[in-house]
Chains A and B, each alone.
Chain A
Amino acid sequence: MARTIVITSGKGGVGKTTTAAAMAMGLAQRGHRTVVIDFDVGLRNLDLIMGCERRVVYDFANVINGEANLNQALIRDKRCEHLFILPASQTRDKDALTQEGVGQVLEELRKTYDYIVCDSPAGIEHGALMAMYFADDAVVVTNPEVSSVRDSDRMLGILSSKSRRALENDEPIREFLLLSRYSPERVASGEMLGVEDVQEILALNLLSVIPESKAVLNASNAGTPVILDVESDAGQAYSDMVARYLGEERPMRFLEMERKGLFSRFFRG
């Protein structure tokens, strides 16, 4: 049974596309047939993060309008045979994604894929609502920062009132928290909300904590999902996320400051 997962946040710049790319790659690497869809009409970026920007011919809107079929628009990832990318339209206006059209495309994808990862645009406009509407699961990407936490809570409200599952009184969407751009040093010094603080407010199932990491920018520069950088802290934190999403138990990592030198090791036991 296919699952549709929306990566959402409300606020921009918190790491939705990075997360969508990492999660889709992580699921596909484990052998699940996965497609990742960019819902950000006019501001497409997933193709860049996935490193397939030069292979885009047709897009999501072309498929909805019947100008191309799904197989023509889907781009097969060169690193993982189970992963496909459906890019957003760069030129059309936001109404290109009709609810009926999106529903039909997702229905078609559900026949062939195990996981459909929807990369939502920021905000609560049409594109974001479309990305959320058909979701079975939602990953709310949040930074430990006041406006991001508030916007995440707002998105939870929308998920529980405007999604298909809510409107049809179906089983509610499973909601998960992903805390990103986390700096254990700043949390320890009291300048940044800690993971417990954010969880106390949002009360969500925590999938992973992604540390603020150079690896994320390096990965997007290269067009490689950061989860493929297996040596990096962010890559490992994303691997944990995928494992936990699939039901594995893994202890949370990257919550503590790196221990430096003999002096602090002596004092911190």
Chain B
Amino acid sequence: MGLLDYFRAPSGARKGSASVAKERLQILVAHDRAARDRPSYLPRLQQEILAVIRKYVEIDNDAVSVHYEQEDKYEILELNIVLPEADARS
């Protein structure tokens, strides 16, 4: 590294818009990749589970969350359903 580079890149951190671009891309690409590997039926599955539970308990739209993960040899489908507080159910 030449002497000028010390002035060009103070304290090792790179300034300018490129670092913003990289950060945005890393988040975006990770998000895209996660969505890519997910089965396409997940949103529908989530809606239907929500509808079934609503037959019995009144819950919010975001009370059912579906997580999908793929390991080497198996897939994990994780369902998380948040029921309302007991006294709210009456």
Interface residues of A (CB under 8 A from B): 145-146, 149-150, 153-154, 157, 161, 187-194, 197, 200-201, 264, 267-269
Contact = CB atoms under 8 A, between A and B. Distances in A.
Given A267-B3, A268-B5, A193 B29 contact: no
A161 B33 CA distance: 12
Interface of B: 2-5, 8-9, 14-19, 21-22, 24-26, 28-29, 32-33, 36
Contact of B25 (A150, A190, A194): A150
A199 B81 CA distance: 39
Contacts of B14: 190
B32 A193 contact: no
A146 B33 contact: no
Contact of B18 (A150, A161, A191, A269): A191
Nearest to B8: A188
Contacts of B36: 157, 161
A196 B4 CA distance: 21
Contact of B21 (A146, A153, A154, A189): A146
A243 to B, nearest CB: 29
A190 B15 CA distance: 6
Contacts of A154: 32
Nearest to A202: B29
The 4 closest A-B pairs by CB, nearest first: A190-B16, A268-B2, A267-B4, A157-B36
A143 to B, nearest CB: 12
Given A189-B16, A197-B18, A268-B5, 20 more contacts: A145-B21, A146-B24, A153-B32, A157-B32, A187-B18, A190-B9, A190-B14, A190-B15, A190-B18, A192-B18, A193-B18, A197-B21, A201-B25, A201-B26, A201-B29, A264-B4, A267-B4, A268-B2, A268-B3, A269-B2
B29 A150 contact: yes
* Chain A contact residues, majority secondary structure: helix
Of the candidates B16, B19, B32, the one having the most CB atoms from chain A within 10 angstroms of its own CB is B16
Contacts of A197: 18, 21-22
A191 B17 CA distance: 5
A145 to B, nearest CB: 8
Contacts of B32: 150, 153-154, 157
B2 A190 contact: no
A190 B24 contact: no
Contacts of B4: 264, 267-268
B38 to A, nearest CB: 12
A132 B34 CA distance: 22
A134 to B, nearest CB: 22
A194 B18 contact: yes
B17 A157 contact: no
A197 B15 CA distance: 14
B86 to A, nearest CB: 45
A166 B2 CA distance: 47
A176 B74 CA distance: 29
A225 to B, nearest CB: 31
A193 B2 contact: no
A1 B17 CA distance: 46
B19 A190 contact: yes
B3 A193 contact: no
Contacts of B25: 146, 149-150, 193, 201
A200 B25 CA distance: 11
